[in-house]
């Protein structure tokens, strides 16, 4: 066998530091604002929600942040993750380009989310926190945090978007297996939930509502903190372990990507694989493209505006500078639940604003078509979120072929689709539909915003 499909690293090659892209950004992200006063807030304002060490990481401009030994040790439960050359997919596409994918689905929860769940649980445990509350949409984040909390003996309470709770019972059971308590959100347990239920007793819930509930539980209980699975700076930084490993692996393969691709929900998956390569672009002027792929039904990067907005629906979180569709925007019920979020994180938004990264939007039928081709060639059945990355890879490879060039394309296969088989059923039986977002919908959602605009 001359060709090598899988490029592995040993445990000793697990990176020792996370990469903080803020250090290398030409324009730093704008500060968060207080939801009430709309004035910039300092780290202390976040103290009710997060342990101090994570708040420090949220605001640090240090380029490298050391990964604690205990976290590296627990990372080794599934890390380093493999990097694959997608020979069978390349063959099926008949492309001249080389396609690599980093596979994060080997983690206990089946996605990249434990990369930040483990350190978040670690820092909370170190500061004596007894319980962590969080929200989850598709369930990837909730199950990752459930597992991480179990390792550190912390109680875990998850507010799961009701429509997912009912539609994805196995994800909920996964959290239960790891010992977490899971509620279908909106609940009557919180003020935020009760407000929503009063307006709409049959509310199917949303990520924004679930965040409001989880934040409220943390803010009103002394021994409880809150954890978020994406968007925030420290979360994105934890995920850079993905790209740092991928760089080492590509180096072993004697390769470097022309294009790095990842699906885009809140930004953690995308940041994880691209930031370590963007470092080369920002520092050495390396010619590498980073493409974020969002669903056309939730097009904040390609059709949203750059302004301050809330991270949640009720308006309890600090205001963040973001590309947003407005925090009241309700995305259509596509199967990639992890991509149904109205905004993007502060770092990503600044990078997009500055033209350092690119974005594309793809319909879900094209994504599932790509996912099934991937399953039938590479063997892994991808999560619906991951299918967005694959569809973009195929677009880029076809374009390169049309131009008569060969590109080296890297993408993050962020998770497997074992808990999403009913979505595949919809696709295979021809029942899957695409959703159009009209400009009126976006305009009307944005018109409701009374948050600060950015000059």
Task: Give the footprint of a second copy on this chain (CB under 8 A).
Answer: 1, 3-6, 8, 10-12, 14, 69, 72-73, 76-78, 88, 106-108, 110, 147, 150-151, 169-170, 173-174, 176-179, 372, 375-376, 378-381, 416, 418-419, 421-422, 424-425, 428
- Return the number of the residue (47 or 421) whose C-beta is nearest a second copy: 421
Q: Quick one: how far is CA 403 from the chain centroid?
A: 32
38: number of Cβ within 10 Å:
13
- Return the number of the residue (11 or 223) whose C-beta is nearest a second copy: 11
Q: How far is the CB of 280 from a second copy (least distance, A)?
A: 27
- Return the number of the residue (310 or 424) whose C-beta is nearest a second copy: 424
- d(CA 372, CA 323) in angstroms, rounded, equals 31
- Return the number of the residue (72 or 407) whose C-beta is nearest a second copy: 72
Q: How far is the CB of 391 from a second copy (least distance, A)?
A: 16
Report whether the peptide linkage leading into residue 348 is cis, meaning its omega lies within 30 degrees of zero. no
- Return the number of the residue (147 or 226) whose C-beta is nearest a second copy: 147
Q: How far is the CB of 225 from a second copy (least distance, A)?
A: 21
Q: How far is the CB of 120 from a second copy (least distance, A)?
A: 16
DSSP state letters, 67-136: PPHHHHHHHTTTPSPPEEE-HHHHHHHT-SSEEEEEEGGGSTTSBSTHHHHHHHHHHHHHTT--EEEEEE
- Return the number of the residue (39 or 177) whose C-beta is nearest a second copy: 177
Q: How far is the CB of 107 from a second copy (least distance, A)?
A: 8
- Return the number of the residue (88 or 434) whose C-beta is nearest a second copy: 88
Q: How far is the CB of 335 from a second copy (least distance, A)?
A: 13
- Return the number of the residue (171 or 300) whose C-beta is nearest a second copy: 171
Q: Scan for tokens 């370590």, then name that residue.
A: 276
Strand ranges across the sheet with 358-362: 6-7, 83-85, 98-103, 408-413, 259-263, 289-295, 358-362
Q: How far is the CB of 310 from a second copy (least distance, A)?
A: 34
Q: How far is the CB of 104 from a second copy (least distance, A)?
A: 13
Distances in Å between the Cα of 329 and the Cα atoms of 154, 324, 406, 444 are: 34, 9, 40, 9
In the structure encoding, which two tokens stand for residue 14, read together? 């697990």
Helical segments of 294-383, H only: 300-303, 346-353, 364-378
Helix (H) or strand (E) holding 266: none
- d(CA 170, CA 372) in angstroms, rounded, equals 22
Burial of 354 (0-12, 13-18, 19+ CB in 10 A): exposed
């Amino acid at each position: 066998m001359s060709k090598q499909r899988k490029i592995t690293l040993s445990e000793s090659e697990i990176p020792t530091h996370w990469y903080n892209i803020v250090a290398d950004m030409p324009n730093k992200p704008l500060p968060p604002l207080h939801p009430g006063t709309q004035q910039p807030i300092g780290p202390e304002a976040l103290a009710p929600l997060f342990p101090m060490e994570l708040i420090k990481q949220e605001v640090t401009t240090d380029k490298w942040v050391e990964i604690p030994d205990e976290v590296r040790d627990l990372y080794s439960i599934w890390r380093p993750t493999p990097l694959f050359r997608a020979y069978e997919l390349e063959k099926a596409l008949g492309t001249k380009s080389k396609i690599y994918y980093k596979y994060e689905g080997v983690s206990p929860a089946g996605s990249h989310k434990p990369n930040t769940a483990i350190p978040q649980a670690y820092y909370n445990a170190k500061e004596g926190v007894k319980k962590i509350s969080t929200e989850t949409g598709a369930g990837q984040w909730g199950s990752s945090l459930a597992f991480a909390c179990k390792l550190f003996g912390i109680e875990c309470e998850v507010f799961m978007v009701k429509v997912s709770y009912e539609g994805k019972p196995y994800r909920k059971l996964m959290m239960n297996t790891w010992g977490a308590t899971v509620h279908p959100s909106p609940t009557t347990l919180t003020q935020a939930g009760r407000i929503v239920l009063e307006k709409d007793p049959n509310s199917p819930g949303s990520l924004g509502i679930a965040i409001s509930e989880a934040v409220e539980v943390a803010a009103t209980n002394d021994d409880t903190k809150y954890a978020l699975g994406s968007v925030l700076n420290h979360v994105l930084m934890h995920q850079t372990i993905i790209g740092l490993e991928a760089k080492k692996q590509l180096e072993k393969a004697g390769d470097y990507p022309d294009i790095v691709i990842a699906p885009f929900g809140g930004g953690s998956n995308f940041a994880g694989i691209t930031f370590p390569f963007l470092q080369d672009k920002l520092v050495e002027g390396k010619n590498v493209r980073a493409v974020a792929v969002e669903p056309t039904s939730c097009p904040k990067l390609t059709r949203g505006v750059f302004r301050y907005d809330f991270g949640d629906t009720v308006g309890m979180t600090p205001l963040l500078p973001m590309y947003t569709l407005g925090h009241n925007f309700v995305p259509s019920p596509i199967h990639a639940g992890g991509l149904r979020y109205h905004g993007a994180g502060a770092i990503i938004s600044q990078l997009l604003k500055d033209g350092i990264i690119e974005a594309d939007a793809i319909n879900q039928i094209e994504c599932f078509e790509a996912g099934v081709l991937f399953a039938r060639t590479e063997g892994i059945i991808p999560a619906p979120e991951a299918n967005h990355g694959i569809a973009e890879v195929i677009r880029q490879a076809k374009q390169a072929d049309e131009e008569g060039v060969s590109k080296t394309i890297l993408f993050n296969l962020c998770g497997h689709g074992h808990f999403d088989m009913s979505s595949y059923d919809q696709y295979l039986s021809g029942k899957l539909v695409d959703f159009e977002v009209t400009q009126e919908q976006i305009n009307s959602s944005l018109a409701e915003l009374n948050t600060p605009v950015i000059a």
